[in-house]
Chain A
């Protein structure tokens, strides 16, 4: 089974683990991305995530299909949250299950790396000095707005 979703609610990693678990599997690999309170030396208070939702879900589904081909992992679930997130909130969760640990671990790593390259999701950080900035990973600083 596999499932991808862009969600506006909290991500419950335990629910995703339960979704992929089976007596056939000896390994469940989990990656959870969380909002941290500092980036590039600046104190972050919150992050707004936004997405081109229909394309993001389509790209996520393609990434999952590639991962399943590459690692032979049949059970993968991915959720990415959008909206206003606070420090410590889970922004993305990837859960992959397999009979053995190596394919499950490789799968989660592959999926998060691909998300960062090609899934149309954006984030705008809010800082303690009241400014906010779109994050552009291709340059060190994004577009600053008051």
Chain B
């Protein structure tokens, strides 16, 4: 089984204590599958019910397919300005 690297930022990186996560990736996995795997990790209880995910620097829907070469990121609630 391949994996995909998920980037973490800000409060998510601080709470997980990591800047990236390696998530197992079955064939035809979707963003929703990746999120489900992340939620099963120890310490993931703090994540909000609704998670924003970016794939290749664009916000992605839960049914978008994910490849091991994709740039995946969990986006905490944004607070620019």
Contacts and interface: CB of A to CB of B under 8 A. Distances in A.
Interface residues of A, number: 32
Interface in B62-81: 73, 75-81
Interface in B1-27: 7, 9-11, 14-15
B57 interface: yes
24 contacts: A50-B9, A50-B10, A52-B57, A52-B73, A52-B75, A54-B57, A55-B54, A55-B57, A115-B81, A116-B78, A116-B79, A116-B80, A118-B78, A119-B78, A119-B80, A120-B54, A121-B81, A122-B79, A123-B79, A124-B10, A134-B76, A136-B11, A143-B14, A145-B14
SS of B interface (majority): mixed
A120 B15 contact: no
- Sort chain B's interface into a size bin: 20 to 34
